[in-house]
Structure formats: C-alpha cells, structure tokens
Amino acid sequence: MSGQLIAVAAALPNLHGKALATIAGRSPCPVATYRSIATGVASLDLRHEEAEPLRRRFNAYYGVRRNVAWRASFYERFEAAKNGPAGSIDLFADIVRSLSAETGRVEASFVSKLVATIDPEYPIIDSVVRKWLGSLTETPPFKGGVDVVTAYYVWLTKFMREIVRTPEAQAWSKAFEATFPLLPGEQPISQMKQIDFLIWAGADR
C-alpha cells in the first residue's frame, strides 16, 4: 500500500466512536433514510408527481438547494441514468457536462450522489469527506471545470476502492452492520457507502 493509503486506513478506527454516536443520535436515522431513498429511486419514476415526496427526501438528505428548473433538469437526467448503462465515470462526466451547459453550474457533488444512488460501488463527493481526505493525502484539484472535477472523481473512485479493501475498513463494516442491521427485504449497504458514513459522521467539521 502507498503511504497515503496507509495513513488514511490507520486513521479510520479513530472515527468509529463519534461516527456511531452521530448516526445513532440523529432523527430520522441517516441510515434508514438512505435505505428508503435507495428503495424509492429503484421503484419510482423520478419525473412523475408521485415521486415528489421521494425527491423532497433526496433534496433534504443531500442538501439540494436549487430552483425548480434546475431540479427538473437534474431528475430528468437521474431517471434517464437509471435506465442506461451502469454507473460509471463516463456517466458522471456526461451529466456534469450537460448540467453545466444547461444551468451554468458545475455540480460535481450532486451528480456523484446521483451516480452512487444508482450504483453504490461509486463514491460520493462530500465536503466533509473531501476535507478529511485532504488532511491526510495529496488530492488532485477539485475546484474548476468539468475536466477538473472529473479527474478528482477518477482519483476518489480509485482511492476509495483501495480503502474498502483494508482491514481497518473491514472492521468498520462489522461495527456498522452490527449497529444498523438489515431488516427483512432490505438491500445491504455497500462497503463504499459504509466508509462514506464513517468519515462523514466521524470527521471534524
């Protein structure tokens, strides 16, 4: 493993206590909300009126504070992506580019959440996670145009996939699953998302 990967893995156990307390202490529970969003996205057409409660839940959960026109464009692309090829770097880049062309905004974080909802083996670009990783690694630039944020996303995907294979990440998965067990009919939460929960809830803001 590289020195940066070793440093991040070694720091993960220090986040366990705060992360579990933060997640368990919030109402509604972020894990339960995440599971309900994943189920809803898979079963509803996000463009239709009946999906409005789900869209509101997604907006609140991920801090989507954009106007009606922007949200319509976002969820149109979200629904199209559900029925297209599996989540990928190309999907991320294509949606960031098309949203930027239409709205003038480079929305790397929200688009990463779209991709990760469809395919939870991909990471989320989150400000808390990005700051924490940046304190331990030499990350690529993030601020900039489509090519810059796509390069960051490529790096993040590769790095996080290496992290989830470490013993420290595996130990967190055991603690997470013991604390937030699956209910009948629910889908398991990917280890990628479990690590996102750990850093998001355990790192200092």
pLDDT classification of 138: cutoffs 50, 70, 90: very high
Structure confidence by residue, pLDDT tens digits, 25-84: 999 999 999 999 999 999 999 999 999 999 999 999 999 999 999 999 999 999 999 987
Count of domains observed in the chain: 1
pLDDT at position 153 is: 98
Among candidate residues 63, 80, 173, the one with its CA nearest the CA of residue 125: 63
In this model, does residue 16 exceed pLDDT 80?
yes
Q: What is the pTM of this model?
A: 0.95
pLDDT classification of 103: cutoffs 50, 70, 90: very high
In this model, does residue 1 exceed pLDDT 70?
no
3-state secondary structure of 120: coil
Question: By the 8 A CB rule, do 36 and 57 touch?
Answer: yes
Written as one letter, the residue type at 51 is A
Query: Which structural domain, as residue segments, surrounds residue 142?
Result: 3-202
Q: What are φ and ψ of residue 160, in 5° steps? A: -70, -35
Question: By the 8 A CB rule, do 191 and 173 touch?
Answer: yes
pLDDT at position 87 is: 61
At 103, list the tokens: 């709205």
DSSP 8-state code for residue 130? H
Which region among 10-24, 42-56, 177-191 has the lowest average model confidence (pLDDT)?
177-191
pLDDT at position 56 is: 97
